[in-house]
Amino acid sequence: MGIRNRFLIIGGLFFLPFFLTAQNRAIDSLKTVLTKYKADSSYVNTLDTLSYLLCRNGYYDSAISYVGKALTLANEINYKKGIGVSYCDFGQNYIGQCKYKDALGYFQKALSIAMEVQDKKTIANVYLDIGVIYEDQGDYAGALEYYFKALKIWGKSNYKILVSDCYNNIGIIYNEQHNYEEALKNYDLSLSIILILHDSLRLGDAYFAIGDVFLGKGQDSMALVNMKRAIKIGVKQKDKLLESYAFKEMGLILNRLGKYDSALYYFNESQKLKREMHDKQGEAVNLLNIAKIYINKKEFANSTKYLDSSLTLSRSIGDKKNIMLIYDAFTRLDSSTGNYVAVLGHYKMYNVYRDSLTNEESVRKIEGEKMRYENEKKMQADSVQLAVKQELQKVEQEKKDARQRIVRNVFIGGFGFALLFASVFFFQRKRIAKEKDVSDNLLLNILPSETAEELKSTGESKARNYELVTVMFTDFKNFTGHAENMTPEELVNEINYCYKEFDRIIARHNVEKIKTMGDGYMAAGGVPRGNITNPKDTVASALEIQNFMENMKTDREKQNKPYFEVRIGIHSGPVVAGIVGIKKFAYDIWGDTVNIAARMESSGEAGKVNISGATYELVKEKFNCTYRGKVLAKNKGEIDMYFVES
């Protein structure tokens, strides 16, 4: 588990304040207690707590041995609460080993017992742990559902630190989905509890998590403040895990700020700790990050050396995701050095690993959904069995009363149960249908409709070649200068206002939005549904965007407010299009056509639509264009360029 997940597994609660402050000492003390055997509930609790501690430290075999003894004794003395906790501990051990199906089986047993004896603490524990499983399987909706169930129970108890853990887990889900405002809201709630309780073990992780959100939002100054706090606590607590991750994040922030030497320092500090911890995966990631800095510094020999080292290490541990990213970096390096022969080879390997990961993720998601369905079905069945059991106990108790009263109660109880079952059935069916609509709408908001349907029906979407696609890039002139004179909220609102209108314009012209990159906007005509009108469609949408920005400029000048001016570049040619990513799907396009379109934008002028000679030949009958001559484009040589006038 990563730095942000180390408190996801919450085990036995009997000695919680003690073992969170001195785990190794706690393990030794508990083993001493166990030398004085006594067949009672306290002994069961001690075995369960020792199992949790061993599980937390990765000693799964020993942990399972102790929880097995706890379960045996709890059954012998009919200690129902202890039986439920033991089942829960079994499940937590299997989570640690990523054996999710086994873990769910034990959590189902734990929940059934805990509901029978109304052990709310164990019920909440089980909900939280089931949420962890769904999160690890990429089922964020299922994870949130169970986290909120746990929070509802713990929110009414005195276990404030567990409430903090719930908020932390919920924050992680929102952060993974780039819903940064909700992530921050939940991280702040978690942090407020941690500060009140002076829990130094969690405080550093909390600052790290908050810093990670600001890093995702692009608010580098706030990200730096929180990462520095995390590092300070990590050093003080001698928490190598926290230090190693916080150092790495500092490197990422400083690299983005262009402070390459400082970024190298932090990546190297993280690397030292990763080696001490024998974290080869972490070492490989750091080597890749260092290589990227050397690319930025144009020290290509150093970059090659570190990419080779990262690739060797990643292959040794079978880290396909990092290997894919390494080949992507090699492609960037090759383009920077003009080695276009190598670009093709490295780009091919990037696609091989990307497709492999996409297929594996699809299989994992299918298995995860199947597991969730089976788990919920089993839990519903357990709930029905429990209701039946309780009803039978009630009937048995009332046998002492008159037979007429027994018959009447059985009839009423049976009718009520049937009504309850029917209500649950129709409620579940309605809830599932509603959730399906939500997930379908979300998918259509992320992917083109054709791609979304293919993904839903087959579990994957294959990359496709397109012979003619017209790619458009837009970029705001002097964006950094304007940004310095605006608050973050004003800046985001301004960009959002522009991009929303861009979205409406290209939709009217049958052009597909591909992605945004800060102040850059990318769209393409002719994908995912091929057509022959895409050059004209894309140029028409570009002119409309340019007209919108000119009108906006006029309004802002009248109000004496800052405004953006936009450069637009367009090129037509063949591309490859498809889905990338293993956790958050993204539709993207690749090929030299994309690179040349980007050069059209950077070689253009504010207030102008700059097109290549290739696009001009396809639209010259429809638009008035002014020839600019052959213009030098970075890494592409001289290219015929035209300004579209109308």
* pLDDT tens track for 286-318: 999 999 999 999 999 999 999 999 999 999 988
User: Quick one: average pLDDT of 592-621?
Assistant: 92
Instruction: For the beta carbon of residue 359, count every other beta carbon within 10 angstroms.
Output: 13
Residue with structure tokens 């079905």? 377
Pairing outcome for strands 586-590 and 609-612: unpaired
Find which of 62-66, 298-302, 319-323, 404-408 is predicted with most confidence, using mean pLDDT: 298-302
Predicted confidence (pLDDT) per residue in 417-456, tens digit: 556 555 555 555 566 555 555 455 544 455 555 655 655 5
Whole-angstrom CA distances from 465 to 431, 432, 487, 510, 512 are 40, 37, 43, 19, 16
DSSP label at 398? G
pLDDT of residue 436: 53
Domains and their CATH numbers in the chain: 1-157 (1.25.40.10), 461-644 (3.30.70.1230)
Distances (CA, A) of 432 to 105, 131, 419: 23, 18, 20
pLDDT, average across residues 244-251:
92
Percent of the chain with pLDDT over 90: 28
Average pLDDT, the chain: 80
Could you tell me if 368 and 387 are in contact, meaning their C-beta atoms sit under 8 angstroms apart? no
Query: 638 forms bridges with which residues in the sheet?
Result: 632
* 346-393 pLDDT, tens digit each: 888 888 888 776 665 554 554 555 455 455 555 544 444 444 445 445
DSSP-derived secondary structure letter, 565: -
Q: Which amino acid is at 9?
A: I
As a whole number, mean pLDDT of residues 584-591 equals 77
End-to-end CA distance of the chain: 57
Q: Contact 96/58 with Cβ under 8 angstroms?
A: yes
The two tokens of residue 484 are 């310095």
pLDDT at 7 over 50: no
pLDDT digits (tens, 9 = 90+) for 66-76: 888 889 998 99
Q: Which residues pair with 175 in a beta bridge?
A: none
Which residues, listed in sequence order, are joined to residue 512 by a DSSP beta bridge?
A: 524
Q: Are residues 491 and 519 in contact, defined by beta-carbon separation less than 8 angstroms?
A: no
pLDDT at residue 52, as a whole number: 76
Report the C-alpha gap between 578 and 51 in whole angstroms.
Answer: 47
Question: Rounded mean pLDDT of 562-585?
Answer: 82
- Alpha-carbon distance of 79 to 113, in angstroms, equals 11
Q: Which residues pair with 525 in a beta bridge?
A: 470, 511
